[in-house]
Structure 1
Amino acid sequence: MAFEGLAERLQATMSKIKGKGKVNEADVKEMAREVRLALLEADVNFKVVKQFVNRIKERAVGQEVMKSLTPGQQVIKVVNEELTELMGKEESKLAVADKAPTVIMMVGLQGSGKTTTAAKLANHLRKEKNRNPMLVAADVYRPAAIDQLETLGKQLDMPVFSKGTEANPVDIVREGVEQAKAENHDYVLLDTAGRLHVDEALMDELQQMGDAVQPHEVLLVVDAMTGQDAVNVAEQFNDQLPVSGVVLTKLDGDTRGGAALSIRAVTDQPIKFAGMGEKIDQLEAFHPERMASRILGMGDMLSLIEKAQTNVDEERAKELEKKMRNADLTFEDFLEQLEQVKSMGPMEDILSMMPGAGKMKGLKNMQVDEGQIDRIEAIVRSMTKAEKQDPKLMNASRKRRIAKGSGTSVQDVNKLLKQFEDMKKMMKQMSSMGGGKKKGKGGMQLPFMR
């Protein structure tokens, strides 16, 4: 999860003050000191930290907190609001041209993930916004970049305009935009060259390309893993180019979060997207208010709902719900549900969006074992169609065959069958309780929670 270390520190700090019936200046001072240390350890720019902590202290000792019936919770509200403000207050959406196509120029240093991000953004526009984008390969200095973009284009079944490594990049972007117009593409994404560092030659070329096509967006791609270096690069680009927004890559990695919390304050440019993984669909619109809530352990149900809406077939979900109510669920249905959940991303990320999940994950027995999910899937896939429909068919020899085919043990197969039957019984009980029948005394517990 992004900001994991920072989130743990801030959540621990907030939990100390949350339940306080009274909050005095000494409490606020201690909380501010811990917040300051947490942010500095997360590699947040020291000037940004100083301003942030001063604003919290000023508001936390004000009338809105001290006179509140729940001052501890009011302090957390203040921290949440200031954290949101620090990252940009609200989502910053992409520009839309009055007359298509909207031209987006991707800029950044070599190795920041610019080429992959261009393809991810094109995929996002098509999948999430129902747009018809085209990619333009304008990095003539790195042949691998052109090959990479063309490969990604084939993978996405998306057109890529390229003229090879001999053409002038200014001509490439100009002709690429003209072709996008002719083919009625509503977005065109320009993958430009990067360097190992910011230099005059790079900036001159980017400015010439910008003058040639007049982009509606200039998105700076920076690697969140580089911490303060990412902020310094953003500041240098922003000083010399009309940057309109930032895309942070590798925000899911072992990053301390400092770049995301500093870039907006240092450059005054919004973070528009965040790369949350290596897969082509792992690019998210950046919502400061949702990210602040996740950092403070309040969850992010809106993003979770959006993920579900994107990855889950609504009609099929209704059919499965009906089967669950009638306890008619088969292993084929179970496998389908498992695939839909996996398509939403790693379970750790999904759980991190649920309110209070941070504390739950701190418990060893609540850790998500992705390997166990894979083993369950392997067992179900080793069953015949008849066995998936009717698990009662399974005798000792069938179980041995399934265990061998899935690389597991007969005990693993028996355990899954038992859990599946328990789950169906629980569904039946819940359905009858909903119908007005007498409730059992002991309540119910999911088999996977034992």
Structure 2
Amino acid sequence: MEFRNSFPRLGRRGLLTGVAMGVAAPAVLRAQGNAPIRIGEINSYTAQPAFLGPYRNGWLLAQERINAEGGIHGRPLETLFRDDAGRPEDSVRIAGELVASERVALLGGGYLSNVGLALGDYALQNKVLYCASEPLTDALVWSRGNRYTFRLRPSTYMQAAMLVEEAAKLPAKRWATIAPNYEYGQSAVRWFKALLSHARPDVEFVGEQFPALGRIDAGATSQALERLRPDAIFNVTFGTDLLNFVRQGNTRGLFEDRAVASMLTGEPEYLEPLGEECPDGWIVTGYPRDELNNPVHTALRDAYRARFNELPRCGSIVGHDTALAIATMLRQANSTDTEAMVAAFEGLRYPTGYGTGEVEFRALDHQSTLGAFVGRTKLQGRVGRMVDWRYADGARYLPPDEQVREWRPRQN
């Protein structure tokens, strides 16, 4: 396995914040004294705790380090965390309260794609900056993209393209799909089918299953997939849905002599709960935390373990990176004026906690070039691990610029 670390050499504190402090505070921010810069963070904490508990910890770790080093030109960051319970309508209501009553400078967060889209629409209508952490729907930056919305994580298109690169090498010709029945799952399936069909015109998709999020009937779903007699399966379920699907699929022999490509399954928050039921050989996107030993990531992993008495998960990196990207933007903007922050975010580069180098928020569509790791699942002892992995740089898995311009609304 080859790993190239292009991250600049910094001290331990610099490795975690990624930004050196200036000698003198710029006048625009200094004029406001030492008042905290408030960020409104909205997420589905009670609905998706496996990812979002570690996410919040990662965010706090970054914020504590930033503030320990002097904050943003002398002003500390303060984050107001709010729970939308996985409901788009609640996220919009909370956003309004944070902006109007709490006077936050910007919004961040979002996990479910439908929630992210609701927050993106709110940002556009109210001209408020929104840095989306996790929502993976492509619509957030393309068909429904706007001037005020930016996204950190690689999208469904990007992660589907990463998996297709490996899936196209398989002899499998008959594919079936399973995904949660909402924007994220529908988008992931749509792009996987389109991209794999382009790479391998000889494949056919013989059927699909779209169980409701969090309410999968895994036994019936496994039986339905088995009746299709596919050579391979594309899976987009996660969390408890994934656990139930794997359990029932193992019981019914669904995965025997059958390839599986699976989005997000290599992330520790979803892989580790599978325990001894972890299937071998699935092609996955994820986060090989225990084997990722470059200096930047090792420093973050050690600091996280010292602070929270546990190892980070993928959510931890996402939370950490979101706070770090926002801090980098604020230093560059030299202001909490929305238009100044938007201008600073366009083309912004920050060093990811993965230690794989700098990530850019593209001015073209506000999508970051953060990548993901692609590898295979393997049961090691009683725990599933991600092995034979490589880092897939997000910049390599985006559609051509002219295609993005066609998709993205011109008025924004």
Query: Does TM-score exceed 0.5, indicating one fold?
Result: no
Which structure would you say has the larger Rg? 1
Structure 1 or 2: more strand by fraction: 2
Structure 1 or 2: more helix by fraction: 1
